[in-house]
Chain A
Amino acid sequence: AQSVTQLDSHVSVSEGTPVLLRCNYSSSYSPSLFWYVQHPNKGLQLLLKYTSAATLVKGINGFEAEFKKSETSFHLTKPSAHMSDAAEYFCVVSVLQGAQKLVFGQGTRLTINP
């Protein structure tokens, strides 16, 4: 079965410093992977997706992620954190079981310190 594991439930960084949110996946074939962000009391917004094209994927708001098959990882990074980045981040793998199903990681709460 396909799954994702987010290695940190909470990450705290200072404004202007780099952000690293870690995600490992488990899949028997080349997966479709996504990062979504959820601000408080809001719906989910897609940051970026990987679908077996380039291994380095650029997303919105300066975020990017690198697919590493050898490490079964899909970590999310940003060079310089902004206060508005404070939110919950979900690593997601997509599977087809009659229809598309999203399998979510448990989420990482990102806190930005001024």
Chain B
Amino acid sequence: DTEVTQTPKHLVMGMTNKKSLKCEQHMGHRAMYWYKQKAKKPPELMFVYSYEKLSINESVPSRFSPECPNSSLLNLHLHALQPEDSALYLCASSQGGRDRNIQYFGAGTRLSVL
């Protein structure tokens, strides 16, 4: 099983709302990632968790707050977003620790901020 599951698939929220994106994997991977992808652009890395600790934060605004409750689960908490934050948010996981490791991607959450 190489599945990364993301929920919800679609999300519409206002600029004052608080919402969360969820990502789950059961491959025993110890690294998990959040990416943001705008239309017709490649994914941009936001956060990396390695062994449940935040390893990389690519200078993401604080209105995005990641959380890794356990090795299988990754959340992205959203608060006071802007319309320009509308995008496809992708989660990925890998065994971690080596540059040759394969990252497996979920199908993404399509976020619209009104």
Residues on A facing B (Cβ under 8 Å): 32, 34, 36, 41-46, 49, 51, 90, 94-102, 104-107
Contact = CB atoms under 8 A, between A and B. Distances in A.
**Interface bracket on B:** 20 to 34
B110 interface: yes
A14 B99 CA distance: 36
Nearest to B107: A43
A26 to B, nearest CB: 15
Given A32-B100, A104-B43, 12 more contacts: A43-B105, A44-B43, A44-B92, A46-B104, A51-B100, A95-B99, A96-B98, A98-B56, A99-B48, A100-B97, A100-B99, A107-B42
Interface string B92-114: 10101111111111111010000
Contacts of A34: 102
27 contacts: A36-B105, A41-B88, A42-B107, A43-B107, A43-B108, A44-B90, A44-B92, A45-B105, A46-B102, A46-B103, A51-B100, A94-B99, A95-B99, A99-B31, A99-B50, A99-B56, A99-B96, A100-B94, A100-B96, A100-B97, A100-B101, A101-B48, A102-B45, A102-B103, A104-B42, A107-B40, A107-B42
Contacts of A41: 88, 110
Contacts of B92: 44
